[in-house]
Amino acid sequence: MKRTAFVCLGSRRRGDALHYQELPTKEDGEEFFIFFESGSEQRNPLIKQLFRDAISAPRMGYPIKYLLHLIDRLNTLAGGIDEVEELLADSVLAVMIRRHRDVYLFHNAGIAVLHWDGAAVAERPVAEIPGFTDMPLRRTEGQGNLFSRFTEELFVLRHFTLADGNHTLILAPSHDFAVRNMETFRNSICFPGFELSSEREVTVETGRSFPAIHWNTTGEEPVKQASRQNKKFPGKFSIPATVGIVTALVALFLFFGPLSRKGSDDGGSPVLLSDDESGQAIDTRTDADEPAVSIEARNGTSPERVEMPRGIDFSPAWSEHFTSPVTSSPQVHQGTIYFGCRDSHLYAFAADGTRKWGYNAGEGIGATPRCTGRYVIGADYGGNIFCLDAATGTAIWSFATNERIVSSPQAAGDMVLIATMEGNLIALNLSDGAKRWSQKLGTGIWANVHLDERYIVTATTDGSLVKLDHSGKIEWRVKPGGGILSSPLCLADNDLIVFGSKDTYIYAYSLSKGNLMWRAAAGGEVNGGGVSDGETILVGSDDGNIYALSMNGRIRWKQNLGGAVKSSPLIIGDTALVTSYGSKICAIKLESGEIINTHTVESPIYSSPTHDGVRVYFGTNGGTFHALWMYGGVGGTP
């Protein structure tokens, strides 16, 4: 555990707080953290001088000696006890000294201490926080004579041992501040997936900055016990054992050495709230059990089982060129490939490249068709939703919304859902296209709606995530951050909804309650939808990277594909296929992120890939629809 203390940067950000941190160079070393913030610019010179003295003062021996020296220095700088009391009325002075799990926390008495235990956050008396005890600031009579009792009451010193589990302590400037910002605390630093990264600062939407402490000891002790059991050394070392020990020591030095650095009071960028599992940025991989051989489509439809003879080949099978972009993602249904084109047609092709039919909708089609039973449902930019006979392309019914549509239609049972760019969610009957209900949810909806037999989840361009029942009644609504174009990925078994945002974060909310579970930072807007094999979540970003996350939001790896990833990846067994604006489709190892194979096409790709077990299909912005062999022509003739 290298870091527990961090800074929550309020809206004033730079200049409103001074903070300094030293990290331990070894597991039982010392973590030292100072946070000073004055509510008055007039007192800033005094606070800065005290801050410099606090950093330079010796800390050898028992921590109380250092803290008593700090109080003595404050008395001198302020000019007396009355002045100290006035200064502390609107300031935050906090010092933490941690040696392994043993923590000393010193701060002015007016601070409100909030504790989050992994379930709820609340302001609690110290006696109710596990392991906390108040300590007197006078350890001997000699020390006691240095300070009056009144000065001692302006500060508190608390000692505690890091309790097992997931915990966060917030040192809020005041009780009123804590009450006003409780919801912000829950959404920014007090949720189950929150973890500290290598950054020292977390941005929060509060008026002032404040310090916090977070630790998660889950699973830590068994590792330490195992290492203690192995401390009996044999009388003689074998050469392999010696080499192994030396290698381990070198690895520990390389890993932990760079992390021990002096802190500073300069500003920082928003922190990655869910970092990679290794503690490093990209390169270290996490072992994972081999997942089931399955795929999950862009809009969360059920997985299909396929056999995988060998690695992805990507040799061309066939292609068809059109006069307009093919940004619609194809769907494979009963041996036929369906996709829309901006030339106003919805097409049906046989697996061998033979065109079966084309339906002219009258306006361009960017939405992905939805296939169900004997029907294929499409939507065009003109706002028309239509149901066709999947075998012949004959129109069965159509419905005019009179609003532009880019979101793909969805169907479950006898219900069809369509979302419009004006923010309306509309429910129709599958059997006859009759309108059931409509609900205005925001300024626009670009993302695909998730519809199953129990609930509906959608997201709006003005940043709302909404869960509804089948009658259109809103069960809950949250507004995480920026606008949302990313299609929500619903993982019912994990009680998660995962999606990206234009604010560059990947979010996970509780499907049942709408609570924020975790968020992870990407390097650019996240507009593509996510997919999962049940263990790993894949999401692309406009920064050109595909991100692999665990179910608790830790980034396992990221891989740059040379162009923005606006599509949804496709998982096939232990391999992921990803299209990008780098005009490529890449096959990537799901476990490590290593690129196995790449196929370059004539133009950028917005369309998400799909497959039939033999070929992989996708369209390009240049108007070409591609079919590539997956395994060198297995199951057919290349």
Under the banding of pLDDT at 50, 70 and 90, the label for residue 239 is very low
C-beta of residue 426 within 8 angstroms of C-beta of residue 438: yes
531-532 and 516-521 as β-strands: parallel, antiparallel, unpaired?
Answer: unpaired
41 assigned to some structural domain: yes
What's the average model confidence in pLDDT over 268-280?
A: 32
Evaluate if residue 142 carries a pLDDT over 80: no
Evaluate if residue 103 carries a pLDDT over 80: yes
- For residue 586, the enclosing domain spans 291-327+531-632
Residue 35 sits in the same domain as residue 130: yes
241 assigned to some structural domain: no
What pLDDT shows up at residue 269?
29
Among candidate residues 187, 202, 231, the one where a domain is terminated:
231
187 assigned to some structural domain: yes
Please calculate the CA angle 156-160-161 and round it to the nearest 5 degrees: 165
CA pair distance 572, 596, nearest whole angstrom:
13
547 assigned to some structural domain: yes
Among candidate residues 231, 248, 282, the one where a domain is terminated:
231
Q: Which helix (H) or strand (E) covers residue 73, if one does?
A: helix 63-78
What pLDDT shows up at residue 2?
77
Give the count of domains, the chain. 2
392 assigned to some structural domain: no
Among candidate residues 185, 213, 231, the one where a domain is terminated:
231
601 assigned to some structural domain: yes
Query: What's the DSSP call for residue 239?
Result: H
Residue 85 sits in the same domain as residue 212: yes
Residue 225 sits in the same domain as residue 312: no
Residue 299 sits in the same domain as residue 227: no
CATH for 295 = 2.130.10.10
Under the banding of pLDDT at 50, 70 and 90, the label for residue 617 is very high
CA pair distance 508, 511, nearest whole angstrom:
9
C-beta of residue 533 within 8 angstroms of C-beta of residue 526: no
CA pair distance 304, 466, nearest whole angstrom:
28
C-beta of residue 590 within 8 angstroms of C-beta of residue 289: no
Please calculate the CA angle 200-205-208 and round it to the nearest 5 degrees: 70
What's the average model confidence in pLDDT over 303-307?
A: 38
What pLDDT shows up at residue 126?
67
Which residues in 361-515 belong to E strands, given as ranges? Answer: 370-372, 375-379, 384-389, 395-400, 410-412, 415-419, 424-429, 435-440, 450-451, 456-459, 465-468, 474-478, 489-491, 496-500, 505-510
Residue 180 sits in the same domain as residue 296: no
Average pLDDT over the chain, rounded to whole? 81
What's the average model confidence in pLDDT over 482-505?
A: 95
CA pair distance 274, 194, nearest whole angstrom:
6
pLDDT per residue as tens digits for the range 43-80: 778 888 888 888 888 876 678 888 888 888 888 888 87
CA pair distance 478, 364, nearest whole angstrom:
33
What's the average model confidence in pLDDT over 241-264?
A: 38
The partner residues of 319 in beta bridges, in order of sequence, read: 626
- Residue 403 CB neighbours (<10 A): 17
Residue 302 sits in the same domain as residue 191: no
445 assigned to some structural domain: no
Distances (CA, A) of 416 to 36, 447, 475, 533: 57, 16, 19, 26
What's the average model confidence in pLDDT over 255-276?
A: 34
Phi-psi label, residue 633: left if phi above 0, alpha if psi -120 to 50, beta otherwise: left
Residue 59 sits in the same domain as residue 177: yes
| pTM check: above 0.75 | no
What pLDDT shows up at residue 150?
58
Residue 192 sits in the same domain as residue 304: no
Q: Report the share of the chain in percent with pLDDT over 70.
A: 78
CA pair distance 383, 245, nearest whole angstrom:
67
What pLDDT shows up at residue 228?
33
Under the banding of pLDDT at 50, 70 and 90, the label for residue 267 is very low
CATH for 207 = 3.60.40
pLDDT per residue as tens digits for the range 180-232: 888 888 777 887 767 776 566 787 878 888 999 998 876 554 433 333 333 33
Query: Who wins on pLDDT, 469 or 160?
Result: 469
What does the block give as tokens for 4?
Answer: 């527990």
What pLDDT shows up at residue 199?
60
Evaluate if residue 251 carries a pLDDT over 50: no
Residue 220 sits in the same domain as residue 295: no
Coil/strand/helix, residue 568: coil
CA pair distance 374, 390, nearest whole angstrom:
5
Under the banding of pLDDT at 50, 70 and 90, the label for residue 475 is very high
Residue 303 sits in the same domain as residue 160: no
